[in-house]
């Protein structure tokens, strides 16, 4: 469910755009804000961390990893990869139970 929420937010913000250096800052903030708003609307007792990386397609490589110290039964994460012709976007959502 978090997956679809995130995808929708990303598509909504950077859907049909090409990479523009002056706008990327604003895009990342918007993506993150929208994701968070949608997650809080779910009304669950969780603390959320949302991370968004937007990178220009240049032939360079990119790797992301995350390691967490939490309670496996109550906490979880979800990572979404999105791309178009000019850029990559990776969004990670972590949810920690209160």
Partner 1 sequence: MAAEQNTDSLSVKALKDHTDRTEASPSGNRTSFRPRAASIISESGSVASGGPNVKGDLRKMTTQKMVMTGLRKMSIVAKDVLTKRRMSKPAIQLQYENTYKMHPDDGTKFASYRVEEAVRGELEKHLEDMKYDPTKTARLTKQICDKILDKVKDLNFPRYKFVVHVTMGQNGNQGMVEASRCIWDDKTDNYACITYKNASLFAIACIYGMYFE
Using CB under 8 A as the binding criterion, the count of chain residues that bind partner 1 stands at: 44
Q: Which residues contact 87 (CB under 8 A, 6 or more apart)?
A: 14, 18, 19, 54, 55, 56, 57
Question: Looking at beta carbons only, is 3 or 47 nearer to partner 1?
Answer: 47
CA 16, 22, 24, 29 dihedral sign is: negative
List 13, 14, 32, 80, residue binding partner 1 (CB under 8 A): 32
Residue 38 CB, nearest distance to partner 1 (Å)? 12
Q: How far apart (Å, rounded) are the C-alpha atoms in residues 75 and 64?
A: 20
Based on the shown chain and the rule CB under 8 A, indicate whether residue 71 belongs to the binding site for partner 1: yes
Give residues in contact with partner 1 (CB under 8 A): 19, 21, 24-25, 27-29, 31-33, 36, 39-40, 47-71, 75, 77, 92, 94, 96, 98
């Amino acid at each position: 469910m978090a997956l679809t929420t995130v995808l929708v937010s990303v598509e909504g913000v950077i859907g049909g755009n090409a990479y523009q250096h002056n706008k990327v800052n604003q895009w990342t903030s918007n993506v993150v804000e929208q994701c968070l708003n949608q997650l809080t609307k779910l009304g669950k007792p969780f603390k959320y961390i949302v991370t968004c990386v937007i990178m220009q397609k240049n032939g360079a490589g990119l790797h992301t990893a995350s390691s967490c110290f939490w309670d496996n039964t109550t906490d979880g994460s979800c990572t979404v990869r999105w791309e178009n012709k000019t850029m990559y976007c990776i969004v990670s959502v972590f949810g920690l139970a209160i």
